[in-house]
Copies of this chain bind each other. A is one copy, B any other.
Amino acid sequence: MRYNYIRQLADQWKLVLGSKSPRRVALLKEIGVSFEQIIPPLEESRQAGEPAYLFAKRLAEDKALWVVRQINAGHVVIGCDTIVVLGDRVLQKPDDETEAFEILSILSGRMHVVCTALALVKDEKLLASGYELTEVFFNPAKAEQIRDYIATGEPRDKAGAYGIQGMGAFLVDRINGNVDNVIGLPRTLLNKLAEEVIAKSNHSR
């Protein structure tokens, strides 16, 4: 498949997904590439004045660079970071149910932006990175509904304390943008970055 640069990348080098997320694993498996999974340590914090989307990109890059140092040379690592942005506020994964409740109360009835950043790294060198934005419009939710949603356990490991799949489907009215991006792995962006990496590697031969 010529247009599937991700598969081409996986054929050429060993691919490593630097992420814990079972949802990212599922999206990547769906396109039929084989890869390993290595989980990078927990995220850093945003620097003063750092724009939200660049923060996500830096995290994706740093995660990929961390993973690449744990493995043999010649592997391509995909680093990922997903953040939920409301105004200039970045809402990451909730620490506990109280925080999940706060986050979901803030998102209720409003539009926020989901940003997933990706970075491709090989031999400690950043080859390509970028991010994708999707607007997500939440239905208004009552406190009781939010508590019920938290009881499902779904908010626990998710940026913005929700997933667009599962019971989270009731929270979301509509989205404007790429669906994969909200789940955590924008495959068209990954494909574009893979194309860049392949073009560079052909050029340097």
Which residues of A pack against B, CB within 8 Å? 1-4, 27, 30-32, 134, 139, 141-142, 144-145, 148, 164-167, 169-170, 172-180, 182, 187-188, 191
| Distance, CA A191 to CA B173, complexed state (A) | 12
Interface of A is mostly: mixed
In the complex, the answer to whether B179 meets A179 with C-beta atoms within 8 Å is yes
B178 and A176 contacting across the interface, CB-CB below 8 Å: no
- Decide yes or no: A176 and B176 within 8 Å by CB, A3-B145, A30-B165, A166-B30 being known contacts: yes
Q: Count copies of this chain in the complex.
A: 2
Q: A47 → chain B, closest Cβ, in Å?
A: 30
From the candidates B31, B144, B173, B179, name the one contacting A188 in the complex (CB within 8 A): B173
A3 engages B142 (CB within 8 Å): yes
Q: In the complex, what residues of B have CB within 8 A of residue A174's CB?
A: 134, 176-178
